Amino acid sequence: MKYEVRCECGKPFSVTGADAGTSLKCGCGRTVEVPPLHQLRTAAGQNVLSPALRVETLLLEGKLPGTRKCAVCTRETDGRSRVAVECARGILKDDGSSRDQIAAGCLFGLLFGGAVGLFGANRIMSGESANLKAVGQDVAFTLPLPVCEGCQPTVTKPTELRTALRHIPDYAALLDAHPDAKIVLLG
């Protein structure tokens, strides 16, 4: 597995686990320390852990579903189904800002869903997460899914919705991270 470390000047270096703990010489003259393997893994874990964050961000930017192809028959369509995906128990930060709630909630679900055990334990115990507390609310995304009018009657059950959602790569990643997510058609 390859990891990326950056010099203070911004130049990225691709390293492997075998380089952990060594140092590199950057063209700018600085020495770049390659962190120990567990730190490299933790850093890489942030990328692995991000499907929920990514979906959240793309939703806010209006970039989903990112395709006009019907998720069933693949014909171009302006038809949209709205699908609710409840991906985890909500986690509230004490200060309670809503974006952090969603992000943390989904991360939490992922960590303890067992998909990526190792890095997760670190992160949840680190100070970053210390002020999180679980509350009994589910966190839900409302995902726009392109489905043409002809196909809409055929995609209403959770199993059918799940299959259709998987045609959108970012939704597929979210569902992989949250295999127990509840899926409901909103309309």
| Binding positions for Zn ion, rule: CB under 5 A | 7, 9, 11, 26, 28, 30, 70, 72-73, 148, 151
User: Which is nearer to Zn ion, 49 or 155 (by Cβ)?
Assistant: 155
51/115 Cα distance (integer angstroms): 12
CA angle 185, 54, 121 (to 5 degrees): 105
118/104 Cα distance (integer angstroms): 17
Q: Which residues contact 74 (CB under 8 A, 6 or more apart)?
A: none
Q: In angstroms, what is the minimal distance from the CB of 151 to Zn ion?
A: 3
**Token duo for residue 64:** 């989903």
Q: In angstroms, what is the minimal distance from the CB of 71 to Zn ion?
A: 8
User: Which is nearer to Zn ion, 66 or 179 (by Cβ)?
Assistant: 66
Q: In angstroms, what is the minimal distance from the CB of 80 to Zn ion?
A: 12
Q: In angstroms, what is the minimal distance from the CB of 27 to Zn ion?
A: 6
User: Which is nearer to Zn ion, 16 or 74 (by Cβ)?
Assistant: 74
User: Which is nearer to Zn ion, 131 or 163 (by Cβ)?
Assistant: 163
Q: In angstroms, what is the minimal distance from the CB of 140 to Zn ion?
A: 25
**Token duo for residue 12:** 């990225």
Q: Which residues contact 100 (CB under 8 A, 6 or more apart)?
A: 93
45/177 Cα distance (integer angstroms): 13
User: Which is nearer to Zn ion, 32 or 49 (by Cβ)?
Assistant: 32
